[in-house]
Amino acid sequence: MFYHAYNSYLDNAFPYDELRPLTCDGQDTWGSFSLTLIDALDTLLVLGNRTEFQRVASILQDTVDFDIDVNASVFETNIRVVGGLLSAHLLAQRAGMELEPGWPCSGPLLRMAEDAARKLLPAFETPTGMPYGTVNLLRGVSPTETPVTCTAGVGTFILEFATLSRLTGDPTFENVARRALRTLWKTRSDIGLVGNHIDIVSTKWVAQDAGIGAGVDSYFEYLVKGAVMLQDEELLSMFQAYDRAIQNYTRFDDWYLWVQMHKGTVSMPIFQSLEAFWPGLQSLLGNLDSAVRTFQNYYSVWRQFGGLPEFYSIPQGYTVDKREGYPLRPELIESAMYLFRATGDHTYLQLGVDALESIEKIAKTPCGYASVKDLRDHQLDNRMESFFLAETIKYLYLLFDPTHFLHGGGTEGDGSWEEGGEAGECVLGAGGFIFNTEAHPLDPAALYCCGQHDQDRQELQDILLTLSQPGSQSKPPPKQTEGGSQSESIALKPGEKKTPPLLSCPVQPFSARLSILGQVFTDDT
Ligand code: DMJ
């Protein structure tokens, strides 16, 4: 399935962003940066194709240029381009690429990701810190740009931007993402909900439907995954407060409806295909019972149509006018992957089989796979979105490969020692991976290793500075990032205990495995 789509893209559409699977040619959609190739790069490695990964990584370095006069979506460029390049950078060693000294804290793909992300920064220069939705990659934000951005377009940056900041040592990216999140948090209604579109200058809610689907979805996803990846209590407590309001006002019989954000009255009793990520996200928090029930609701819709229509009217049990399509989205398969890992229940493998057979039957064309325009009569659209290769096929593959290194905890992924370049030895890939909302895996261990390296370097600089100033005995103040973390000395004092992290997994701590010269190190020192 992957190679049929991928080879068709390469043969007929590259260097355009996307393949048009009915006319067998290409088109630019979200920019002009060979988007499908960037989005599909890490899937090549997931499937074990190291040579093609290496070939494509070097093609991208030679051909992609972000210095272009193109209006691009800040959100889509971040999740697909920045996320895709970061992920490829972090997987470069597994792909057998030659690494430059300093990897994973430096490298050509990381520089490309940083270059792309810098082009997005002008969008965040607003009075509130919430970004515009569109930016011109060459000229910045147009003076006529609308100040109305969807909620997900404000709150879906922390994973990529914190990764960039912690790998490169430049706090700018993480700081702007956090500022946007904090402003958004302050705009919630008295009953604890957020709407769909906000004026990022005045902070007025322009569209006041509150729900978990289109326009909002990945905001909630990034609060949870950001909390896990960065061990960040602030993000987790934001999500927990939202989750209480969502359960209270929008959940009915384990469906999630749309309600007016101030009153909590139902505005649209529909289920959207994009909402199907929610059971998977809930499983990350351990809320399995309701996740399983919600998944069953969504799976019943899949069985009814052989795919998920964009909108489904819950009272009518049918599709909604003009929203009958299925653009080969990943979300239900993504949830199946998480729930299969959490429960071992073969229902989730069955969903995988159903999805595979359906897509093969309905969407396959001689030149790729086409979005389904209407699930009722299987009419097709001349479009294959890049997330089909980045997400849908990746999650399907990972669903059927429960010991894949990306799941963490397997023989390959757990406990492997890898060179950390100048950062010294790092345990990479040992703590599992966090998928960004475009299914690009990020390695929290690399963030930690490079962050630690940066802190160590800063401490050393401070010490040298103090020593070079005769008579000055005072200790330099600890470095404080906007996120609140500060540098620590390496060893624990006798009798001192580390506060357990807010979020942790039941794995053997490093301290049980590692001791150097009789000194025991904990997993975050
Ligand atoms: C992808 O680009 C991402 O998953 C995003 O969060 C939602 N839309 C598509 C997939 O449906």
Among the listed residues 114, 221, 275, 331, the single catalytic one is 331
Ligand 1 centre to CA of 330 (Å) is: 8
Closest Cα to atom 8 of ligand 1: 274
Q: Does residue 310 have an active-site annotation?
A: yes
Ligand 1 centre to CA of 273 (Å) is: 10
Which ligand 1 atom minimizes the distance to the CA of 439? Answer: 4
Q: Does residue 331 have an active-site annotation?
A: yes
Ligand 1 centre to CA of 276 (Å) is: 11
Mean pLDDT of the chain: 89
Would you call the peptide bond into 15 cis, given omega within 30 degrees of 0 as the criterion?
yes
pLDDT of residue 473 exceeding 90, the answer is: no
Ligand 1 centre to CA of 308 (Å) is: 14
- Convert the pLDDT of each residue in 112-136 to its tens digit: 999 999 999 999 999 999 999 999 9
Pocket test for ligand 1, best of 39, 43, 77, 79 (most atoms within 8 A of CB): 79
Residue 194: CB partners within 8 Å, gap ≥ 6? 151, 184, 187, 188, 205, 210, 216, 219, 242, 261
Structure tokens at 257: 């409806």
Among the listed residues 17, 39, 52, 76, the single catalytic one is 76
Pocket test for ligand 1, best of 217, 391, 394, 395 (most atoms within 8 A of CB): 391
Which ligand 1 atom minimizes the distance to the CA of 80? Answer: 2
Closest Cα to atom 6 of ligand 1: 437
Pocket test for ligand 1, best of 77, 384, 386, 438 (most atoms within 8 A of CB): 438
Q: Does residue 76 have an active-site annotation?
A: yes
Which ligand 1 atom minimizes the distance to the CA of 217? Answer: 6
* Structure confidence at residue 457 (pLDDT): 67
Ligand 1 centre to CA of 387 (Å) is: 7
* Structure confidence at residue 509 (pLDDT): 47
Write out residues with Cβ below 6 Å of ligand 1. Answer: 79, 218, 274, 329-331, 387, 391, 437-438
d(CA 290, CA 62): 48
* Structure confidence at residue 482 (pLDDT): 45
Query: Would you place residue 432 in the very low, low, confident or very high pLDDT band (cuts 50, 70, 90)?
Result: confident
Structure tokens at 346: 């073969």
* Helices of type H across 327-439: 331-343, 347-362, 387, 393-399
Least confident of 15-29, 38-52, 474-488: 474-488
pLDDT of residue 402 exceeding 80, the answer is: yes
Average of pLDDT values for 202-227?
A: 98
Average of pLDDT values for 366-388?
A: 98
pLDDT of residue 160 exceeding 80, the answer is: yes
Q: Does residue 160 have an active-site annotation?
A: no
Ligand 1 centre to CA of 386 (Å) is: 10
Ligand 1 centre to CA of 440 (Å) is: 11
Residue 208: CB partners within 8 Å, gap ≥ 6? 195, 196, 260, 261, 262
Query: Would you place residue 463 in the very low, low, confident or very high pLDDT band (cuts 50, 70, 90)?
Result: confident
d(CA 446, CA 163): 9
Least confident of 13-22, 378-387, 407-416: 407-416
Which ligand 1 atom minimizes the distance to the CA of 156? Answer: 6
pTM of the model: 0.88
Q: How far is CA 335 from the centre of its chain?
A: 14
Residue 437 labelled as part of a binding site: yes
Which ligand 1 atom minimizes the distance to the CA of 277? Answer: 4
Let me know if 436 is exposed, middle or buried by CB neighbors in 10 A (0-12, 13-18, 19+): buried
Query: Would you place residue 484 in the very low, low, confident or very high pLDDT band (cuts 50, 70, 90)?
Result: very low
Among the listed residues 42, 160, 310, 324, the single catalytic one is 310
* Structure confidence at residue 411 (pLDDT): 41
Pocket test for ligand 1, best of 17, 150, 329 (most atoms within 8 A of CB): 329
Ligand 1 centre to CA of 7 (Å) is: 22
- Find, among 303, 403, 294, the residue nearest to 351 by Cα: 303
* Structure confidence at residue 363 (pLDDT): 98
Closest Cα to atom 3 of ligand 1: 438
d(CA 379, CA 275): 23
Cα dist. 417→197, 406, 426, 445 in Å?
45, 16, 7, 11
Which ligand 1 atom minimizes the distance to the CA of 331? Answer: 11
Among the listed residues 174, 217, 418, 438, the single catalytic one is 217
